[in-house]
């Protein structure tokens, strides 16, 4: 059985992420979407529980997709899925530079670990979680940026003062 792991911070999940999930789920028998936390990234807008909940809601329609979380190193985490490959989305050359380095670092720790890249669909190349957070903080329309099922969750977070 082929397994892929799609890691990310998903703060929050966007339609760009969902597009990668949909495509990877067609290629692999099983896709594990892993919400990574405790990374070097700055303080997230959403708590881990909120991010997990939003990812779970968004992928509810996919039979072969499950959602997990990890606060460890991806290369270590992946060892529990022998033979699994890592899926990354590429939007621009800047994504490639970063991901290329991450791949080398991961291979140093776990030489068996392969990373496969899916290029972003053209309609999502501009889309990132940070753009969504920015739009949300100004009360802008979020339809077309994030899955419909999480729009209310983002609105609620903004209403309670999250940014
Ligand atoms: P972001 O960079 O938006 O904060 P993450 O760190 O959660 O997102 O990204 C997780 C993975 O999803 C990375 O491989 C990233 O390149 C990819 N990704 C993010 N947004 C898109 C998009 N719009 N299209 C394709 N891949 C994407």
User: If the chain, 163 residues long, is cut into consecutive pieces of 10 residues, what is the mean pLDDT of each piece?
Assistant: 97 98 98 86 88 98 97 95 96 90 94 95 95 96 98 95 64
Tell me the C-alpha distance between 115 and 102, whole Å: 10
Cβ of 8 below 6 Å from ligand 1: yes
The residues pairing with 72 across neighbouring beta strands, listed in sequence order, are none
Cα Rg of the chain (Å, integer): 15
What does pTM read for this prediction?
0.94
Closest alpha carbon to 67 in 76, 75, 57, 81: 57
Tell me the C-alpha distance between 75 and 73, whole Å: 5
Residue 42 pLDDT:
72
| CA 61 to ligand 1 center in whole angstroms | 20
């Amino acid at each position: 059985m082929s397994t892929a792991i799609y890691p990310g911070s998903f703060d929050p999940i966007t339609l760009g992420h969902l597009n990668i999930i949909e495509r990877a789920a067609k290629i692999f028998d099983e896709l594990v979407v892993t919400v990574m936390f405790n990374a070097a990234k700055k303080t997230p807008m959403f708590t881990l529980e909120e991010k997990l909940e939003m990812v779970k809601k968004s992928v509810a329609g996919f039979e072969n997709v499950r959602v997990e979380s990890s606060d460890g190193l991806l290369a270590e985490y992946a060892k529990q899925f022998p033979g699994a490959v890592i899926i990354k989305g590429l939007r621009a050359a800047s994504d490639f530079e970063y991901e290329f380095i991450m791949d080398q670092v991961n291979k140093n720790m776990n030489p068996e670990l392969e990373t496969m890249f899916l290029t972003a669909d053209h309609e999502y190349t501009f889309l990132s979680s940070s753009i969504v957070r920015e739009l949300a903080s100004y009360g802008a329309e979020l339809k077309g940026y994030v899955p419909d099922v999480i729009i209310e969750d983002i609105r609620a977070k903004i209403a309670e003062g999250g940014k």
